[in-house]
A and B are shown apart, each in its own frame.
Chain A
Amino acid sequence: MKTLVWVEHDNHSVKDATLSTVTAAAKLGDVHLLVAGKGVSAVAEAAAQIAGVGKVHVADDAAYEHFLAENVAPLVVQLMDNHDAVLFPATTTGKNVAPRVAAALDVMQLSDILSVEGPDTFTRPIYAGNAIATVQTSDKKLVITVRGTAFDKAAATGGSGAVEAVAAAGDKGLSTFAGSEIATSERPELTSAKIIVSGGRALGSQEQFHALIDPLADKLGAAVGASRAAVDAGYAPNDYQVGQTGKIVAPMVYVAVGISGAIQHLAGMKDSKTIVAINKDEDAPIFQVADIGLVGDLFTLVPELTEKL
């Protein structure tokens, strides 16, 4: 099977989510990559070095700079003449583009796969991760999004893919990019962090969130996450949200501070290797999944923990 992997990047560097997707694609067959964007020669070079990669298709055009689905989906569809499967990381970009590709090819998409069981059989989570479905497709072409935390990352170096330019399909004129507000952070990225410190509603305010969670995260070299309650209350920005509707993470250690553990939150973090919970309510559902629990007032425990680390 010839597979095509969408390379997730920011026009400068390859994002880690790509590497897990390559691992999933390699289970299906030969791995080709697609780098679509503007001024992406450095991305293409880096992509070609990913271990196990064959050809790297590069579409360098202003129409692809912001990965607008209306413009990039036709490009992917065109490349599917010569590929049997296309895999996207289940990032916001992948989720935005992949179904548009699937419908254009008249195939059902497999969303957020957790494993490859066979050339047409995959597992995927349903009901906020409360059930795992094994599904078999009868479609001739496969369109798949891959849950990054479910696959090991392919080595970023050691490969020698051949870079080949693809003619751009042009701007479809349906949509234009008008601007973005990207949160800047010097901490590790949430979805690829080894350690995450996450805060919930119990923090009480934005000031306390930053005063308690940030120093602990910095001490551990961790990324900062939040529950939906904390995000809705304005304690933390939206893109910190971990859960069914936010980011799915599986770090080595997940420290949940003042998070009760609603099923929608657990959906985003219960595959973490070790879960540490600090909560004053010893009956909170978070303790049912926590490996290490500490019951008590987070306003005294968290500063003490930060101090002693």
Chain B
Amino acid sequence: MKVLVPVKRVLDYNVKPRVKADGTGVDLANVKMSMNPFDEIAIEEAVRLKEKGAATEIVVVTIGVAKAEADVLLTARAMGADRGILIQTDDEVEPLAVAKLLAKVAEEEQPGLIILGKQAIDDDSNQTGQMLAALLGWAQGTFASKVEIAGDRVHVTREIDGGLETVDLKLPAIVTTDLRLNEPRYATLPNIMKAKTKPVAKKTVADYGVDVTPRLKTLKVVEPAKRQAGIKVGSVDELVEKLKGMGVA
């Protein structure tokens, strides 16, 4: 079974985002970019499925600027993906358009399973996997913390608000990863060198005939309201007094 893993290049999760002074967005000039953390978990899961013999080939795909090849496709191949597809565009592509592009890739590649991260840590949308499942008419196992292939089904344990839930999905299916699905491996230097020999197909948005015109227009981006500076109390007694003053104790 072939596994397709879409990945996204985002602002590194350790970097504190700065809102541009003109309110047009977050400043991404000269800041560290890396693979969305949930997508690393998706790659790791695909690689583990291959190591268990449940997957035969792992194809990784990204939609974004040319730099995404070096920033994320290389990492993905170094972690164990077999080949990459870069759909190059300098424009921001919304989840719906990403899902449409991925649906075209899925038609070409015919994967048995598509594993995505549950959300990208830049736009925090949490939409693409579900949208892709809708467009393909496939089952979806979102927020997965455990994935088991069993013949032509996949059992997915999902993290839900009250605890965990297990669903049994018909393949082909979509899985989106939650944090606790696995601990992604590091790309070692020899594997990074080796990854450079693994092929990457370069495509453009136009190759897929998908209209990626944005539906949402960002009118402005601002910093959230700052909290008032707080006070430090010197003892538990003072804290108790404060809490009592608020009527909570």
- A106 CA to B223 CA, complexed, in Å: 31
Residue of B nearest to A290 (CB): B230
Report yes or no: A126 in contact with B168, Cβ–Cβ below 8 A.
Answer: no
Report yes or no: B26 in contact with A126, Cβ–Cβ below 8 A.
Answer: yes
**Chain-B contact segment, one of A29-37, A52-60, A201-209, A244-252:** A244-252
Report yes or no: A91 in contact with B161, Cβ–Cβ below 8 A.
Answer: yes
- Give chain A interface residues in 50-89, CB to chain B under 8 Å: 66, 68-70, 73
Interface string of A125-141 (1 = CB under 8 A from B): 11111111111111100
Given the known interface contacts A127-B26, A293-B232, the answer about A252 and B248 at a Cβ–Cβ threshold of 8 Å is yes
A24 at the interface (CB under 8 A from B): no
B201 at the interface (CB under 8 A from A): no
Report yes or no: B167 in contact with A238, Cβ–Cβ below 8 A.
Answer: no
- A272 CA to B148 CA, complexed, in Å: 39
- A301 CA to B119 CA, complexed, in Å: 38
A104 to chain B: closest CB distance in Å?
A: 5
Report yes or no: A107 in contact with B96, Cβ–Cβ below 8 A.
Answer: yes
A222 to chain B: closest CB distance in Å?
A: 9
- A91 CA to B135 CA, complexed, in Å: 22
Interface string of B105-125 (1 = CB under 8 A from A): 000000000000011011111
A309 touches which of B170, B216, B249 (Cβ 8 Å): B249
Given the known interface contacts A134-B219, A180-B164, the answer about A295 and B179 at a Cβ–Cβ threshold of 8 Å is no
Report yes or no: A95 in contact with B248, Cβ–Cβ below 8 A.
Answer: no
Interface string of B198-216 (1 = CB under 8 A from A): 0000000000000000111
Report yes or no: A139 in contact with B215, Cβ–Cβ below 8 A.
Answer: yes
- A2 CA to B237 CA, complexed, in Å: 54
A108 at the interface (CB under 8 A from B): yes
- A60 CA to B147 CA, complexed, in Å: 30
- Give chain A interface residues in 83-138, CB to chain B under 8 Å: 91-93, 95-104, 106-112, 121, 125-138
A162 at the interface (CB under 8 A from B): no
Given the known interface contacts A132-B222, A252-B248, the answer about A93 and B160 at a Cβ–Cβ threshold of 8 Å is yes
B197 at the interface (CB under 8 A from A): no
Query: Which residue of B121, B214, B215, B221 has the most chain A CB atoms within 10 A of its CB atom?
Result: B215
Residue of A nearest to B143 (CB): A92
Q: Count contacts on A: residues with CB < 8 A to the other chain.
A: 87
Report yes or no: A238 in contact with B217, Cβ–Cβ below 8 A.
Answer: no
Interface residues of B, Cβ cutoff 8 Å to A: 11, 13, 16-17, 19, 26, 94-96, 99, 118-119, 121-135, 137-143, 145, 155, 158-170, 173, 178-180, 214-224, 227-228, 230-233, 235-237, 239-240, 242-243, 246, 248-249
- A131 CA to B193 CA, complexed, in Å: 37
- Give chain A interface residues in 228-244, CB to chain B under 8 Å: 228, 232, 237-239, 244
Find chain A residues with CB under 8 A from B249 CB.
219-220, 309
Find chain A residues with CB under 8 A from B17 CB.
127-128, 130-131
Report yes or no: B248 in contact with A228, Cβ–Cβ below 8 A.
Answer: no
- A139 CA to B217 CA, complexed, in Å: 11
Given the known interface contacts A125-B124, A309-B249, the answer about A239 and B161 at a Cβ–Cβ threshold of 8 Å is yes
A254 to chain B: closest CB distance in Å?
A: 11
B137 to chain A: closest CB distance in Å?
A: 8
- A98 CA to B239 CA, complexed, in Å: 43
B6 to chain A: closest CB distance in Å?
A: 14
Report yes or no: B230 in contact with A292, Cβ–Cβ below 8 A.
Answer: yes
Given the known interface contacts A100-B134, A126-B221, the answer about A247 and B16 at a Cβ–Cβ threshold of 8 Å is no
A152 to chain B: closest CB distance in Å?
A: 18
Report yes or no: B215 in contact with A107, Cβ–Cβ below 8 A.
Answer: yes
A275 at the interface (CB under 8 A from B): yes
A265 at the interface (CB under 8 A from B): no
A283 at the interface (CB under 8 A from B): no
